[in-house]
Chain A
Amino acid sequence: MNERKELHATEGHIFTNGTVYGTEIWLAEGVSGEDFYEITLEEYNAIAESEEATEEDYRNALNDMGVNV
């Protein structure tokens, strides 16, 4: 069985490889973890907010049409 790596972020930080995010991560067998790095919680929240743009755009479009959402 391949080794399975665990990542545990330091306080106030989150691990990511650009697509997967977690304070604690159990990597699938065979995944090296080399491309994972820590970011701050603030950086993570900023990324999460930017990914909400699609739904916010929809809400804005409805508001522009006078539909209260």
Chain B
Amino acid sequence: MSIATKAAQIAENEYKVYEAGYEKGKAEGGGGDTEAAYENGRKEVWNAIQWNGKRTNWSYAFYCPNHDNPIWNDNTFKPIHDIVPLYANRMFRGLGVTDMPALLTKLGIKLDFSKCATVEYLFSNSKALKKYGTFNVNVNCDCLVCTFAECDNLETIEAINLPNTCYTKWDRTFIRDYSLKNITFTGYGYIQNDIVFSDCPLSKASFTNIFMYLSTTATGKTAKFNKTAKEAAFTADEWATLVATRPNWTIALI
């Protein structure tokens, strides 16, 4: 079975569980469109999808092939248990959620990738996503391949938390994130490999934060930024001062 077929099948199956569980729960709750009936259905659905909270392989689970009309969105993505994946390849590709931290707070659950080494295309093509909260990078994660790629409307990533001894690569992690202004790196780790923000209209604070997290000991590495964003944020002297803080990095504007 090809990856494409598998992806489409997983997405379809998850949504069938959702629909069947909702109807069953609604019927057991007395039917109708009461809030109690909906909640009954919701618990049935999400206990099934989440294996009563024990599920760890979430690859493709909420993959939305049609990112113009994603089936998983603010109205349908309503888990009842914390989600802590070990595998999350393309888990939320094409997702329709708009503000993930607000939604998770409302649901009272956490979404934690700190144990997950496979996050390829995790949120790629999530055109509705405007805000993401804290992303904890797993120390064994080799590469954040397209993890937040093509999220056209993503404006803010509240935190990318880097563990100590983090050597993850940043292959097209933020490609075509044309709205990404605010990103903050946190933690005891550093950016140790080439990283690209050439599509991102970063704020001055974001630029400064990124520079602070470029490793002071890495060699042969390049950080690439958007020239228009840089010119909006810095005077020539301010930029020269910032660049001078990382003489071991090649800094490119495009």
A25 close to B252 (CB less than 8 A): yes
Is A65 a contact partner of B5 (Cβ separation < 8 A)?
Answer: yes
A14 CB contacts on chain B under 8 angstroms: 254
Q: State whether A68 and B250 are in contact (beta carbons under 8 Å apart), knowing that A24-B227, A28-B220, A58-B4 are contacts in the complex.
A: no
Describe B's contact surface by its main secondary structure.
mixed
Q: Are B243 and A26 in contact (CB under 8 A)?
A: yes
A25, closest chain B residue (CB): B252
A contact residues around B8 at 8 Å (CB): 62, 65, 67
Interface of A is mostly: loop
CB-based contact A24/B252 at 8 Å: yes
- The smallest C-beta distance from B70 to any residue of chain A, in angstroms, reads 11
Contact between chains at A62 and B248 (CB < 8 Å)? no
Interface centre among B3, B243, B254 (most CB of A within 10 A): B254
CB proximity of A29 to chain B, nearest CB, Å: 4
Considering the chains assembled together, what is the distance between the CA atoms of A56 and B95 in angstroms?
19
Instruction: Check A21–B2 contact: CB distance below 8 A.
Output: no
Please indicate the chain B residues that have their CB under 8 angstroms from the CB of A64 in the complex: 4
A4: B residues at CB distance < 8 A: 247
When C-beta atoms are compared, the residue in chain A nearest to B90 turns out to be: A58
Residues of B within 8 A of A (CB): 2-5, 7-8, 65-67, 94, 125, 146, 219-222, 224, 227, 243, 247-254
New A-B pairs, 6, CB < 8 Å, besides A23-B253, A27-B250, A61-B2: A1-B247, A20-B250, A23-B227, A24-B252, A62-B7, A67-B4
